[in-house]
Amino acid sequence: MPVGRQANGNTESVDNYLKAIFYLGGPEGLRVTIKALAVRLSVAPASVTNMLQKLAAAPAPLVEYERHRGVQLSSPGKRRALEVVRHHRLIETFLYEVLDYPLDEVHDEAERLEHFISERFEERIAAKLGHPKIDPHGHSIPTMEGEMAARDSMLLADVVQAGTFVIDSVSDRDVHNLRLIEACGITPGATLRVKKGASSGGYSVTVGRSPKAFELSRDVAQDVRIVPLPKA
């Protein structure tokens, strides 16, 4: 996924901006507001504006920025964002499957390493893992060519009726939530049965064949993506 680091002046900070815009803009590449980007990166809106102006004014612009209209990635910016996402998710998978890292620790380690691995190292990791398509959280891993499979899933928090689902992925945005999710056995590929009516306004769920019910808050439910099972 060759987007030259030196040629585009990429730094760790720039990579983080590109990745945040990619996540917030979603598969459609929607425009992202300064406020949303500032919250995601935990920086002041003025600092976000300053960085975006620099990225948009570069000889090979990584973003398309217009005042009051927000920002979206340019084609080179999207390629670089996908490269960093690929690095991150491959590293997470390597840490989890080969080095036996706990699931709630792989994200932070990958955040530190994702910017600096070479393409050769990336290829060796992928080959060692058998060229995986998803990471331990269930998220798609972009290919070397910068393509990423679309995932047709929904948030558990958007479920309005009882039903049976397959867990698609879990978010790593909140370590506390991730630990709780893992303790409940909520992992990609497992079956999740949902019953409405948790006392806190959340969800009562069972996982797999276990009859044990877990009460999940709406905040935790925001971190679980699921796919409905077709009715028999």
Architecture, CATH, for domain 1-150: Orthogonal Bundle (1.10)
CATH 2.30.30.90-classified regions of the chain: 154-228
Determine what percent of the chain is predicted with pLDDT higher than 90: 78
Q: Is the dihedral of CA 129, 133, 138, 142 positive or negative?
A: positive
Residues 86, 142: contact at Cβ < 8 Å?
yes
Residue 181 pLDDT class (50, 70, 90 cuts): very high
DSSP-based helix, strand, coil % in the chain, nearest 5: 40, 15, 40
CATH 1.10.10.10-classified regions of the chain: 1-150
Bridging pattern class, strands 70-73 and 63-66: antiparallel
Indicate if the pLDDT at residue 206 is higher than 50.
yes
What stretch of H or E contains 154?
strand 154-155
- Going by the DSSP 8-state scheme, the letter that residue 113 receives in this structure is H
Indicate if the pLDDT at residue 151 is higher than 70.
yes
Fold (topology level) of 154-228 = SH3 type barrels. (2.30.30)
